[in-house]
Amino acid sequence: MARLIVKSPYVTGSAGGGGGPGGYLKYIGTREGVELLPSGYMEYMAERPRSHGLFGDEDAVDMNAAMKELNEYPGNIWTHVISLKREDAERLGYDHAPQWRNLICAHRNDIASAMNIPPSDFRWYAAFHDEGGHPHIHMMAWSAKPGQAYLSKDGIRKIKSTLTNDIFKQELLHTYEQKSSSREELVRRAREEMKALAQETQTSLGSHPEVESLMMTLVNQLETVKGKKTYGYLPKGVKKIVDEIIDLMEQLPVINGCYQTWWELQCQVEDFYSEKERQRPPLSQQKEFRTIKNVVIREADALRFGQFTFEDAGMDEPVELCGLPSYCVELWMVAQDDTAVMKERDEAAEQIISKAKSGDPFAQYLAGKLYCDGPVLIPDSVVAADWFDRATRQGVVAAQYELGMLLLSDDPEIRDPELGMQWLEYAARNKNDGAAYRLGKEYLKGKVVNRDTSIAEEYLTQSADAGNQYAQYALGKLYLERGDRMEARYRLTQSAAQGNEYAQFFLDRWDNLKPPSMMLSVTRLLHHMSRIFQDQAPAPSVPGGVRIDRKRLQQLREKKIAMGHKPDDHEEQSQGQSMTMG
């Protein structure tokens, strides 16, 4: 795999002490393996070679003068070593000194900028060594003004990126073009796989005793933490617990599958910027997924405060067709038939609206549902609420429930929690089990009304007795928390019989029950993490730093071609006064 290697240690000038950097300059210019340049570079093929291989801004370098300059310099002098693999150097023409000199001269100002040196103050000499498996140049670079230069890791990256993009320019462009279709297919498949895995995760019910135990430890630790309960503000010991929880979650097959798919796509392409093979870090240390840390903390906080949860995200809100006249049912079925032509669906919706305007209470209820759910009409909660309101005043119980739910929503245009609770109470009195279930939820959550478990139990019981599986499940959990295992099992069995997987989850673990909130902690983390993985599914992108004209770059972007290399992948160098010759 093509690579450019850049190493950038430095030495400190001896300020006239003798035997300093000038000696190193002579060494790199005359050592065995150096390519000797002629006295006149432009007449390279005709002139007799000099006694050294040094080159710089000028065609001819006076080695003695250069050594004297360096020996009298008091500041830092960087001794870059820039090398290629033998096969790359031969293929690309970098197995002779002139090509290297042209490269450095073309980018001297870029290198100067990376070293924080104005171009006018930049000084440098270099020599090419055509030896071994890595033909390379030694380059000494410094500022005319001591103390001015500074080279950071980011500066090394910039030097490496600039030279790489020039040396491999044609191959990079060729790779973009040749790999585009395969990379697009790779990204497409990876995104589909991640989406499928994330959906599987979102519907997973998990039990992990070690995670549950650590979550309980985290709960106890958070009790002692003052101030913000976010990862960045936590003591080191508490952060360690959060990381351990995430790394244990990573061991679950669905999470490991998502992470591995994401990781493989990152490492799938040729990387011109890194000499080292990447190792997948623990999930807790992967910065792209750091939001998971605060998800863990929020779940622990929910456990700490004993928040009652309702696992009803998949709860359907079906249209109440029972009791509606046949003409309404027929029109509704056509409007919602996604296999029918759109013209027919539009006509059915228009007839419902027409009948609603004429005062038909059942059509008014359906008109509200059309504006609430779409897809035939553009959703509009204000219009939907108006139609529901008209139907409620003519005694349509289903409309009372829908209006109450709308008024409890987060839509600022219609939100009115107090009025919403009133309409739900009307609907519950009229035997609407969905309204009774929602009232039970609100009295358990205690956000819209004061928390009252006895009232909540009454409403949940009403809904459960009417056959609502979510109310049966919630009652089962409520009884488990009270320690009433007989009633809990009765309600959970009712709910499981209707296909409630959460109820079955508790029944399957009946002989090893823990507090419900603790038993579901892993499941809730799974659901949160699935959404995070979906959000982080990789997308194709054009790598930064390749210098091509804007029109060409736009074409590449439009093709969504991904090379996958990252310009901040560079060899970490430690600066110091010691160096290895050659």
Output the pLDDT for position 92: 87
Is pLDDT larger for residue 131 or for residue 62? 62
Q: CB neighbours of 403 closer than 8 A, spacing ≥ 6?
A: 368, 385, 388, 389, 392, 420, 423
299: its two tokens? 């779940």
Helix H segments across 73-136? 86-92, 97-106, 108-114
Output the pLDDT for position 318: 66
In angstroms, what is the C-alpha Rg of the chain?
A: 36
**Contact present, 115 and 145 (Cβ < 8 Å):** no
Would the pLDDT of 539 be above 90? no
251: its two tokens? 């061991």
**Contact present, 538 and 305 (Cβ < 8 Å):** no
Would the pLDDT of 286 be above 70? yes
Q: Which residue has the tokens 């370098």?
A: 61
The stretch 191-196 carries a mean pLDDT of 69
Mean pLDDT, the chain, integer: 83
Output the pLDDT for position 571: 31
Q: Which residue has the tokens 């589909």?
A: 192
Output the pLDDT for position 275: 52
Output the pLDDT for position 544: 39
71: its two tokens? 């020996």
The stretch 6-10 carries a mean pLDDT of 91
**Contact present, 133 and 511 (Cβ < 8 Å):** no
Nearest to 316 by CA among 159, 96, 169, 500: 500
Looking at residue 427, the DSSP 8-state letter turns out to be H
- Distances in Å between the Cα of 496 and the Cα atoms of 31, 466, 473, 504 are 82, 15, 8, 5
Would the pLDDT of 543 be above 50? no
Specify burial of residue 520 (Cβ count, 10 A radius: 0-12, 13-18, 19+): buried
Secondary structure (3-state) at 230: coil
Please tell me the least confidently modeled range out of 45-54, 136-145, 358-367, 458-467: 45-54
**Contact present, 435 and 424 (Cβ < 8 Å):** yes
Q: How many Å apart are CA 485 and CA 488, to the nearest integer?
A: 5
Is pLDDT larger for residue 553 or for residue 521? 521
Rounded to 5 degrees, φ, ψ at 124 are -160, 150
Output the pLDDT for position 561: 37
Dihedral-angle region of residue 307 (phi above 0 means left; psi in -120 to 50 means alpha; beta otherwise) = beta
497: its two tokens? 């019989």
Q: Which residue has the tokens 């090893």?
A: 512
Q: Which residue has the tokens 């997987």?
A: 501
Specify burial of residue 539 (Cβ count, 10 A radius: 0-12, 13-18, 19+): exposed
**Chain CA centroid to CA 109, Å:** 36
Please tell me the least confidently modeled range out of 214-218, 463-467, 481-485, 555-559: 555-559
Helix H segments across 393-468? 397-407, 417-429, 433-445, 453-465
The stretch 382-404 carries a mean pLDDT of 95
Output the pLDDT for position 32: 85
Q: How confident is the model at residue 236 (pLDDT cuts 50, 70, 90)?
A: very high
CATH class given for the domain over 4-167: alpha beta
29: its two tokens? 């210019």
**Chain CA centroid to CA 291, Å:** 9
Q: How many Å apart are CA 501 and CA 157, to the nearest integer?
A: 53
Q: How confident is the model at residue 574 (pLDDT cuts 50, 70, 90)?
A: very low
The pTM (predicted TM-score) of the whole model is: 0.57
Residue count (the chain): 582
Q: What is the pLDDT of residues 488-530, one digit of tens each?
A: 999 999 999 999 999 999 999 999 888 888 888 888 898 888 8
Q: What is the pLDDT of residues 69-121, one digit of tens each?
A: 998 898 999 999 999 989 888 888 898 898 999 999 999 999 999 999 999 99
Q: Give the largest Cα separation in the chain, rounded.
A: 108
Instruction: Give the chain's count of helices (H) and strands (E).
Output: 25, 6
Output the pLDDT for position 76: 92
- End-to-end Cα, the chain, rounded Å: 24
Q: Burial code of 484-515, b = ≥16 C-beta within 10 A, e = fewer?
A: eeeebbebbebbbeeebbbbbbbbeeeeeeee
Rounded to 5 degrees, φ, ψ at 305 are -95, 5
Secondary structure (3-state) at 55: strand
Q: What is the pLDDT of residues 429-443, one digit of tens each?
A: 999 999 999 999 999
Percent of the chain with pLDDT over 90: 49
| Structural domain spans, the chain | 4-167, 181-307, 326-520
**Contact present, 431 and 466 (Cβ < 8 Å):** yes
- Paired sense of beta strands 4-7 and 54-55, if any: unpaired
- Distances in Å between the Cα of 240 and the Cα atoms of 61, 137, 217, 232, 293 are 58, 46, 11, 12, 11
33: its two tokens? 């393996």
Output the pLDDT for position 215: 92
Which fold would CATH assign to domain 326-520? 1.25.40
Nearest to 126 by CA among 83, 71, 169: 83
